[in-house]
Amino acid sequence: MILRKRIVVADNERALLFRDRQLIDVLTAGVHQFWDVGNRLKVRVFDITNTEIVQKDVKALLRNMKSNNTCEAGFQPQDERREASDFRSNAHYTVISTDENEVALIFVDGQFDGLVNPQAEKWFWNTQAKVTVRRINVTEQVEVSAKDINVLAKAARASALDQGLVIKEVANQQVGLLFIDGQLVRVLKAGKFGFWNFNQSIEVQVVETRAQQLEVAGQEILTKDKVSLRVNLSATFKVADAVKAVTELANFREFLYNALQLALRKAIGTKVLDALLADKEAIDTFVMNFVAKKVAAFGLTLIEVGVKDIILPGEMKTILNQVVEAEKAAKANIIKRREETAATRSLLNTAKLMDESATLRRLKELETLEKVADKVDNITVFGGLEGLRNALTKSV
């Protein structure tokens, strides 16, 4: 049976025409008519709004299709380094490929559309879109230009590009160290940087140069007199030379921590408990002097060291509390005896003065009479004031 087959292809479409499951033609926008004998013709339509060809089977079909080696007016790739003859293209598609040390940035109508990794290729339908290709040798030009960083960073978040791109931001009072294949290549100041990570290992270590805190907590240490203490130490330091700190030490924070820990054990282990409690600042001074010189050789500056807590075991706390209580009681007893002695001595002096002066004795009698009278509500006097005084004196 012979049928007339009519195929309509929209402006944003391409169609693959098959006869007996063999690709025979690529149909562009328009109306196409064919005689179909035995219903042997089949059509597969593609939306080319996104110009890239991503279907693997379509690439294979187009690759095997006989090419006329001409480039249709429409998709005209513009390369900064290559002529159009370097592209594999025909009337319907174009292939952009790269060598082992090269990437290609593709822009469609001025907008970044994608990246071709080293030793890879991308296929595009030929359309009226203006495509620009910019090639970069990632071995010779490791750093990404400033104008490309933001564009590539957005693309990296949405694709696998982040595996081939390292983007780091170095803030104020920070230093970035760029390592390529394990070798320190460059020191980065504040700013945003991007580096190609293809065919080489890129690492950027960001080092803080502001003052930092380091806690050495929960250290169980024996004093010289075998008392177990738990000590917490706090230190403040700065990275003065980032290159030394990173290249000569595997981990500078861990190195400083171990140095502080060792110095703290030396400071406490060589003294008895009483001496430590009497002068805790001596621990700070010893640790500071011991560690500062040691870490300075590796680009670190120790600013301040201080013991935050000295925690005694429970039974030792009880003993020390009893000692303190006994000491305070003894001091209180001494003060009490001293006051009693002073009072007795004062009383003796008063007695001597009264024995020597009748007037003083008379004043003392009146003072005593006044005190007694204050405690009595009603007084009946017989014999006048003299009789009252004599009576009170006798009763006393």
Residue-wise pLDDT for 124-156, tens only, equals 888 888 888 999 999 889 999 888 888 887 766
The answer to whether the CB of 237 falls within 8 A of the CB of 304 is no
* 290 domain-assigned: yes
Q: pTM for this one?
A: 0.65
Q: What is the residue whose two structure tokens read 């320190």?
A: 184
Sorting pLDDT into bands at 50, 70 and 90, what band is 71?
Answer: very low
Q: What is the pLDDT of residue 225?
A: 82
Mean pLDDT over 24-44 rounds to 88
CB atoms near residue 100 (< 10 Å)? 10
Give the residue from 207, 206, 232 showing the smallest Cα distance to 217: 232
Provide CB contacts within 8 A for 167, sequence distance 6+: 144, 149, 152, 153, 156, 192, 193, 194, 195
Q: What is the pLDDT of residue 87?
A: 43
* 285 domain-assigned: yes
* 203 domain-assigned: no
Residue-wise pLDDT for 251-281, tens only, equals 999 999 999 999 999 999 888 888 888 888 8
Q: What is the pLDDT of residue 359?
A: 78
* 226 domain-assigned: yes
- Which pair of tokens denotes residue 322? 């009893």
Number of domains in the chain: 1
* 230 domain-assigned: yes
Q: Is 111 a residue whose pLDDT tops 60?
A: yes
Residue-wise pLDDT for 343-366, tens only, equals 888 877 877 777 777 777 777 777
The bridge status of strand 191-196 relative to strand 202-208 is unpaired
Provide CB contacts within 8 A for 42, sequence distance 6+: 17, 18, 19, 21
Distance CA(33)–CA(278), nearest Å, equals 105
Q: Is 158 a residue whose pLDDT tops 90?
A: no
For residue 247, the domain's CATH number is 3.30.479.30
Q: Dihedral angle at the C-alpha atoms of 18, 22, 27, 33, nearest 10 degrees?
A: -40
Q: Is 380 a residue whose pLDDT tops 90?
A: no
Provide CB contacts within 8 A for 151, sequence distance 6+: 112
* 234 domain-assigned: yes
Provide CB contacts within 8 A for 91, sequence distance 6+: 26, 68, 70, 71, 72, 126
Domain of 227 in residue numbering reads as: 212-312
The answer to whether the CB of 129 falls within 8 A of the CB of 106 is no
190 Rama sector, left if φ>0, alpha if ψ -120 to 50, beta otherwise: beta
